[in-house]
Amino acid sequence: MADAPFVYLDWAATAPLSLEAARAMAPYLEAGMAGLVQGNGNANALHTAGRDAFKTLEAARRDIARTIDARPSEIILTSGATEADNAALIGIVEGVLAKRGVNIGYGSHAKGKTFEAAPSVIVSAIEHDAVLEAAEVLRRRGIEVLFVRPDKQGIVTPEALAHVLDAATNPLLVSIMALNNETGALADIAQLAELAHRSGALFHSDATQAFGKMPLSVKRTGVDALSLSSHKIGGPKGVGALFLKTRTPFDAQIVGGGQEANLRSGTQNIAGVVGFAAAAQASHEQLEAASAHMRALRDRLFAGLSELSVVEAFIDPRSPDYGPHIVTVLCPGFESETLILQLDRRGVCVSGGSACSSSDLEPSHVLSAMGIERDRALGMVRFSLGPTTTEKDIDHAVGMLREIVK
């Protein structure tokens, strides 16, 4: 299979570095290789190199903020969406409780003021592990964690959230992702945020998969916090951002030098942030055309896969309830890992779910939450598309899967 074409259909795991990001980063990387400081100084230093770096950093921050309709001061630069998710859940909850005079690090033995009702955090059962594990940290610190279940189509509905909110005695924070990374299911985060606010809770959304694939406005949706990733939209890895609405209570989770307005310490990666901003701008400007392109290819892929007798199309991604770039199917009787490796041998890169846990042999927690039986869920294959995916890529992938399962 050495001469097989290479088809990359795992864009939900990571996107190739975009031309816009590479070009934007090049001057900073080349200067560094030449031993020059210009543009690569410490943005917190007082000298010329530091001031130049600070100007570059703030210009990039403005560009990122503009793509989600935020203020630049509301953008906290991070190492990625995983850090942003962790910071949002733990930092906001600690900030809220500190404002009320409670130290959550001591569980039921909290120092200072205590609550008559147990404080709780509400997350959906289909969140990325970055959110679920952060919620578990809070649980170990004495915070009640409640889960919102999706419906059989993988969608977290306002009705489901309302039901959980009714059962919560003291909700502090709700966290529900905008677009699921395994099924492509969308959530109406504007309506979900409104429900959270009515119950006195703040609202966070992991928008890693939605960013660059659909319009995002923090003003329109009313969210209090939003997690973003650079490498999912063609920017460099190791960079991300947390939108934190002005005056949202927050305790910094990384302390030290006081960078990012004392909300996230650590010397900023100038070249990385510049690349992130360039990718964000490009994806924002190309959003309408790229989304239409991906939707057309998604529909072509779904139609081709649906013709294979072994494939179970358990959801229809052509519905408006799903994003434009993900097609997930089940192949009962086959193991996901086997199919992925066989497709890889034929030059097709796909995934079995979340890239952070795709080596696990346990079924996807997302599919389990949807009520899909273990034996069926173990045959999950996720195809995800990008703006440079072609019809030829789609047809080759379908043909290779047909060859494997015949």
Alpha carbon distances (Å) from 122 to 127, 137, 353? 11, 13, 23
Sign of CA dihedral 365, 366, 370, 374: negative
- Could you read off the pLDDT of 139-154 as tens digits, one per residue? 999 999 999 999 999 9
- Could you read off the pLDDT of 16-37 as tens digits, one per residue? 999 999 999 999 998 866 666 6
Report the mean per-residue pLDDT for the chain.
93
Does this model's pTM top 0.75? My answer is: yes
Alpha helices in 87-188 (DSSP H): 92-99, 129-140, 158-167
Mean pLDDT for the stretch of residues 358-368: 80
Per-residue confidence at 355, pLDDT binned at 50, 70, 90? very low
Looking at the chain, the number of H-run helices and the number of E-run strands are 14, 11
Largest CA distance in the chain: 68
| Catalytic-role residue among 26, 333, 356, 399 | 356
**The amino acid at 128:** H
In the residue annotation, 349 being an active-site residue is answered as no
Q: End-to-end distance of the chain based on CA atoms, in angstroms?
A: 18
Per-residue confidence at 49, pLDDT binned at 50, 70, 90? confident
Mean pLDDT for the stretch of residues 101-122: 66
The candidate with the shortest Cα–Cα distance to 175, out of 242, 260, 108, 118, is 242
Are residue 211 and residue 292 in the same domain, yes or no? no
Which domain covers residue 227, as residue numbers? Answer: 48-284
Boundary residue ending a domain (284, 303, 336): 284
Give, in degrees to the nearest 5, the angle at Cα 280 between 397 and 43: 135
Are residue 192 and residue 223 in the same domain, yes or no? yes
Within-domain flag for 35: no
Are residue 272 and residue 350 in the same domain, yes or no? no
Pairing of strands 380-384, 348-349: unpaired
Per-residue confidence at 110, pLDDT binned at 50, 70, 90? very low
Are residue 108 and residue 251 in the same domain, yes or no? yes
Number of domains in the chain: 2
Boundary residue ending a domain (284, 312, 344): 284
Beta bridge partners of 214: 211
Percent of the chain clearing pLDDT 90 (strictly above): 86
- Provide the token pair at 183: 């099924």
Q: At what angle do helices 48-67 and 270-285 cross, to 10 degrees?
A: 30
